[in-house]
Amino acid sequence: MRSRSALDALHAVEGLSAREITRLAGASRAGVLNALDRFGIERNADKATRIGPVPFGFDYLNFKLVKNKAEQEVIRIIRQYRVSDLSLREIAGKLNQGLIPTKNCGVWQANTVRRILAHA
């Protein structure tokens, strides 16, 4: 890792961790960490980041969970469907038919609906 701009692009811009850069570049992890230190690039461990996924219905801003209004509305709709005795699979199907996005823009599954109802 001899190029500061290449390392900075991978780490800061693309958000890759030292471990991911190691795999991509075929270098040792110690070498990547050394290069980050040598070029004065802040490592992920130096930042206060959230560990784990951000729950549906929230966004992570300024080190805090903040309600996402659009996702909170989806949770309200899911609860209404559940109260009207729809199965988890039927709820997932209705959300998919309505083109309502998941947190990661995937496809709704019954298990996802179950987890959201359990945590909401």
- The CATH number of the domain holding residue 67 is 1.10.10
- Whether residues 74 and 28 share a domain: the answer is no
The verdict on residue 53 lying in a domain is no
The answer to whether residues 81 and 38 belong to one domain is no
Query: Which residue range(s) make up the domain with 26?
Result: 4-46
pTM of the model: 0.60
Residue 109 lies in a domain: yes
Q: Please check whether residue 54 is in contact with residue 66, taking contact to mean a CB–CB distance below 8 angstroms.
A: no
Beta carbons within 10 angstroms of residue 48's beta carbon? 6
Residue 67 is assigned to a structural domain of this protein: yes
**Inter-CA distances, 55 with 6, 107, 113, Å:** 33, 16, 12
The DSSP secondary-structure symbol of 61 reads E
Tens digits of pLDDT across the chain (120 residues): 567 787 777 776 677 777 778 877 788 888 888 888 887 777 655 455 667 788 999 988 877 889 999 999 999 999 999 999 999 999 999 999 999 999 888 899 999 999 999 987
What is the rounded (10 degree) CA torsion for 10, 12, 13, 14? 50
93 belongs to a structural domain: yes
Shared domain for 62 and 42, answered yes or no, is no
